[in-house]
Structure formats: structure tokens, C-alpha cells
Chains A and B, each alone.
Chain A
């Protein structure tokens, strides 16, 4: 086996890994190599709902997603590939006073940072969602700039662009452990032999924790199953992405007319399984019946599941490790990896080439947990943070 080496080695061929690899190659940092233990994008990147939003409840995440949406708007042109970014809006529904208060505050914070989210009255909500039949709707927050993308299109777009830029992509190469010496990353041991690298990006989703542990770094990441359901195709009736804060019911109609449905995980147990459950669809059907009785007449076409890499505060862990120089983390996205991937590509390539940590990434350091400065983010679809 020949020994390989690279200036930048990205481990994990999901959307985040691809975006970072593509941007690093574009900055002409040196040889960029990307490895994946299976095929490109077969993990969480192709199992998600494709939602993109900047409606978050803390400043760092709002700023990061704001920057990301700026890039999303022009990404198709940059990649020469239409990623089908449809800015159809994202609606978060409040049905209790506490939720109404929460979204009031969120909208205030978002507006102060330049996000043009608005509060919709009960009447406006019912007008926008004629099928919604619920007595306890109070209000909703809505943002026009949010929307959804086609996850496969994004993966193909980045993969093609990355290859064009000269990124070498190795599929079916499994990374066993990272190698470091005297506080510096040296490379990684893989099923294709040792690969040497000066900079290594760990973008392996739920497997980030295991790999980080091989160089003695403890990432506080837990992995949970996240189930999704898609219906048959129907004529368009649902404009925005809909999310009910009480039950966690989330609906989004794709360009093909299929409705992606999702709700909060009923199991709440750590798991890396990607099986699907009856409990989940029963819960989903019950909530659909409560909120959109008409929609119980839709046909459920198929279910699948993926994994969420969840951090204690619901925000990702981004940046270089303090103890092992040259080892970068892009993990713990808690379901928000796809939406920030374009921003991370830009930020990480700047970071790696200049060695200076971009301002936007600074709050997301790993040491925030030890310092007692978590970035609490309760707006996580599919999960209730403990």
C-alpha cells in the first residue's frame, strides 16, 4: 500500500465535509483529500428534511445561519448546479403562552441582528395554512428568507465542484484512528493505510466522538435516531415549512409535491440505529389528526431514519482543538449541519489558510462547556433538550 499525504485531510464525506474540502481547494491551500468510510453523503446528509433557516434563539447561531443563507442564495451559481434552494419561508407555531413569549423574544433578537423575521397573528397563520384546524393557535414567527434545499442536489453540486477544484475523493476508506505526536496532528490510520496530513478536519457526524477519543479528546456528543416520513405526491397546498413548537410536528412540501413529515423522537434513547418504528408514525398520525385533520387522508409512502449528533446545548462544536494542533472539529450539529454547511466551508477554509479563527466560529469552541458558556439552543426540530 502506498502512503498517501495531503495538506488538508477531510474525514467524512457528508455535506459539511464536502463543503470544507471544496472551499479549501478553491483557496488553493494545497492538496486536499477527502475520505469516507462508505459512499459520499450516505449518512445524515441524505436523510434530512433539507430545511434551512435563520430563526434561532441565540446570537452566534443566528449570525452563522444568516451568513450561510447569504451564501445559499448564490450557491447554485457558484457550483454551476442548481441545488433547488426554495425560499418558501419557515413558520414556527406557538400554541401556549410560554411559547408565544419565547418566539416574541426570538423575533426581537433576530430583528436586532438584521433577520427580517415577523410575528404572525392567529388570523394570518390560519390564512396561510387553510388546513390548520386548531383552537389554541396563538401566534407564529415567520421568515421569508428561510426555506429548503434538495439535499441530494447539494451533495452532487459540492461533489462535482470539489472534483473540478482538484479535491481527491476516496470512497470506501474507513478511518480507524487519528495519529498525533507532541500535540500536533500527524494523520490518520485508515483501511487504505496511513494517510499523513498537516491539517485534519473531523466531519464524521455521530462518529466524531469515537475518532476524537483516539487522540484523547472528549467530545460531548450523543447520538440519537431521527425518523422521517414522506407522503405520496400531492398538488401544492403547503407554502412554508411548518413547525409546531408544542408537539414538534414539522411539515414541508417538496417541489415534487411530496410532504415530508416529522415529529419529536418518541424514544429519546441514545442510538445509532437507522431502523424505523411504528410508535413514531402513530405519534405523527395522532398529531396530524389534532392539527390538520384533513391531512390524515394523505398516504404515507415511506419512512426512514438517520442520526442526530447532539451536544448538551444544542449548538455545534466548531474549530481547532486546543490540545492537538491541526485537528479541526465540525461536529455536533444537532440537526443543523446542512443549513450551515456553505458558511462552514468558507469559514474553515479561511481559518485553515490564515490560522486565524473567524469571529463567527469563536463562540462554538469546545472549551465553552468547561468555561460554563454554553450556547443554549432550544429550537431543535425533533428533540427536546434536557
Chain B
């Protein structure tokens, strides 16, 4: 097992063009969609690449640009705005409420549906088969971010933390091309704007060096764990050309979280990009535009704006937040020439790039024109593997619209531990950690202002809760009112949580709306099915 390091840039960075942002067309309403998450957590960059349909180009790498094609393109629909038609005439679930009296009409309806449905065309040739390998390790760490590395060093007995094991066979699986997780993907190539970032960067770098020089720890980067299989007691992991069945005596789940899209009208516009996705594009030196509006929902806004200016060389960057800014942030803003716009929320993003901001204090609309709207979104924990491995994890509502993950520290399974906090203090108690910095914790799993957005735009037909299946927040609310008021039936009725992203963009939104409409609801999550990320059948056929 050799560590593979960044060989080629992502395809997305080569085709990203801020003037022609459309990378795909949405499933139901044929809406243009563009680059969003950058880490395979959304359906937006699925394109046909060299005869293979539904390829997420943000995770595919290559030195040469293959033949690429936008899928689901129906030119005669391009100029129509189906959203308005659908929301007024053809409401969600209309397929159940129409055409039932006549078999002829029903047949006609099916044949139209079959012509329209589907994303990619069938592949033109067989998929590439993978080399199949079985691995047995003492200790498996899933996720090579800050906490994963901390856990790996502790498990190998060379870190500053102690565990009950002294293993000389530790394996780290990470889906990025180098260790360090989000932190390296975001700030690895950035200027350490603040003292905290500088310190963390130093610590992360020293951990990476320690791990790379240790014989006890192996790393498999560019390798994604896609599910735990109880019958075979193994974790399935996939890299570009190999499939691994990993069996481990001890497992640490340190999968962290990912940013998700907030709710506002036209939040699915191709101009909207998640901040980590954009920072990854910058790492790959993609061509970036000259202006951006950063929408801050997780407290990273000012830093991301500074990063855009420092690395992307943008002329005009502003940060929008529903709360106010701290002195430290204002200082950073003036240092980089970032415009700070407190007490405002985004109320529309037009295709032309005109952004409407609603000033919360005065209640009036301000307009500005921008090339990109960068979302520093709320984080959704990557809880799928933890749940599959049997960890006692729940999403618990803490009033309002704030959710935390409870029970990650307790475990039903003795040899599996979850590692969650960015700064882990004690691994022996199954990942129990002390809070080092509560604001960081809040930043990751809670959301300070999404409530404001949700409350205001709950009835808007073009604010999307689920972008895979084009389900608006209004659709979700109406469905809940119709009696589909638990997560299982809501999923079945609306199709949210079942699209190509399997709930990675919508799980928190659905939970929030459910909680808002029905404060007594307790269950917010559905069973996370294997595989966690879609995998081609060919990766399961050994060479």
C-alpha cells in the first residue's frame, strides 16, 4: 500500500467556466445546474464522460480532458421556466392524482414520462473492472482529517494521546488526495490569515509528517469507504482502479461533516457554489471570476472571502450574514478589502447574476450584481458509516432549528469508536472528547442563521430542499400538511433523500422542516443504505 499523492487535477477545475456555468440539467424541472460541492456530495456535476453516464466530474481526475457532454438536455425546454408551471398546475404527487380513470390516458402519460425521465443515457461500453484486494488490519481509521490523524497516531502509540492499543498495523482511509481533510483542502495553500489558522496549520503539517514517516501507519488516500457490510464484517472501499474489502479489529470513524445548501429562492442557481468546493477549484488553479458574494452561515465567511481575494485575485468580494461581525472579523475584512454586510440575508439569485439582499433591520431589498454566490453553508455530519457500524447516534433537536449529534460517544459496539470533535482529548472512552473551542463545534454541527432563511422562504416554490429530485421547501411543507409527516413517508412521497446524493444535501433541511412543522417529531434520519456513495457495478467485478 503506497500513498498516492495528487497526480492530476480534477476534471471540474478544467471545465469550470464562470460565464457558462451549466454542467447539468435537473431531473424533473430541467433547471440548469452548475458546480456546487466539489467533493461528490451533490448531483450537480454529473456529466457523460467518454461514453460513461452520470460521472461526477468533481471527483474524477485526469491529465487529459476526455469527451464530455451535458446530460438530460432537451433544447426545446431550455427557454421555459417549468418551475412556475409545475408549482401552479402540476403539484407534487400529481402522477397519483391524475389519469386514473382512463387506461388510454394512463398509457399516454407513461410513455411521456418514459421519454422525459432519467438523467444519463445507457453506457456505450462495459465499465472498467477493478483489481480486488482483501486487507486485514488491526486498526482502521476512516477519514484522515484532524481527528482521524490524531486517532491514528494515538492508535500507533506515537501521539500525544494514549489509547488502550499499541498497534503496529494502522490504516487510514481518506477520500482526498492528501491527509488533513477539510483543513488542508481549505487552508493548505492559503495564507494563515489568523493566528489560530497558523497554529492549526503547523500542527496538521507536523502530524502529516509524523504519519508519513511512521512504519506503523499506512495511508490510502484517494480511497473512499462506501459502506459497512455486517454479513462479511468488512468495510468496502473504492479507489479509482481498485476495490478493497477491509477487515479491522478496531475502527475509528472520523468522517467529519460537509457543507450543505441553505434555503433561499433560486438556491440551485449555477451561480451558487459551496465554499469548500470553490476553495478546491482554487487549489487546482481553475479560472475564477472577479466578483463574489459570500453568504456566511457557518462563521467561516470572512476567512473564505479573504482567501478568495488572496488566491483568486478577485476585485470585489462581500460577505453577507444575518448576524453581526466581530471586531476581529472587521479588522480582517479591512485588511483584505472585503465588504462586510451584516444583518442581511439573500432573497434571490437571478440567472444574470443579480443578487437581492434583504436587510433585516430595515426590511428593504438591496440589489447587487455578482459572478458567484459562495455559500459557507451549515455542516451536515457524515453519519452514514457511524450508523452502519452500529454506533448509537441520533440527531437531536435542541429547540429552534438547531440539531446536534448525540450519542456519538456511546457505542453499542465495543470495537468501533466515533471521533468527532476537531480536537480530540481522550480516545479510550470511545471517542469522548472535551470541547476545546465551542464556537468551532457550533460551526460544524449547528447552524446559527438557517432558521431565518427557512422561516422566510418556506413557501417559495423555487427554494429547493432537495436538488436531486427538484423538491422545493414548499412541496415538503405541503406534503407534511397532507399527512406525510414522518421522515419515512415524506421520503417516499416527495422523493427527497432518494436521489443521486442519497440525502447528503437534503437530510438536515428535511429534518429542520419536519421539526418546524411538527415540533414533537423525534425521528429525523432514515436508515443510511449501502453504498454511501454510488458505485459502478464494474468496480464489483474483479479483474
Binding site for B on A (CB under 8 A): 39, 42, 46, 73-74, 76-77, 79-86, 131, 152-153, 156-157, 232-237, 255-257, 267, 275-279, 281-282, 284-286, 288-289, 293-304
Contacts and interface: CB of A to CB of B under 8 A. Distances in A.
Contacts of B538: 285, 289, 296-297
Interface string B96-125: 111111010010001001110111111111
B96 A131 contact: no
Given A237-B121, A278-B232, A285-B537, 17 more contacts: A76-B101, A81-B97, A82-B95, A82-B96, A84-B110, A153-B96, A235-B117, A278-B231, A281-B537, A282-B541, A284-B540, A289-B538, A299-B536, A299-B537, A300-B536, A300-B537, A304-B529
Which 9 pairs across A and B sit closest by C-beta, in order of nearness? A257-B118, A297-B123, A76-B100, A285-B540, A297-B127, A235-B118, A293-B126, A302-B529, A299-B534
B100 A232 contact: no
A85 to B, nearest CB: 8
B500 interface: yes
Q: How large is the interface on B (under 10, 10 to 19, 20 to 34, 35 or more residues)?
A: 35 or more
B100 A77 contact: yes
Contacts of B126: 289, 293-294, 296-297
A133 to B, nearest CB: 9
B101 A77 contact: yes
Interface in B490-504: 492-493, 495, 500, 502
A131 B234 CA distance: 33
B119 A257 contact: yes
Nearest to A301: B534
Contacts of A86: 110
A336 to B, nearest CB: 22
B134 to A, nearest CB: 11
Nearest to A239: B114
Contacts of A304: 527, 529
A295 B122 CA distance: 7
A218 B113 CA distance: 47
B46 to A, nearest CB: 8
B231 A234 contact: no
B509 interface: no
Interface string B237-279: 0000000010000000000000000000000000000000000
A82 B100 contact: yes
A297 B96 contact: no
B293 interface: no
A285 to B, nearest CB: 4
A276 B530 contact: yes
B165 to A, nearest CB: 26
B226 to A, nearest CB: 10
A79 B97 CA distance: 10
B230 interface: yes
Contacts of A76: 99-101, 106
B122 A131 contact: yes
A46 B534 CA distance: 22
B383 to A, nearest CB: 16
B537 A232 contact: no
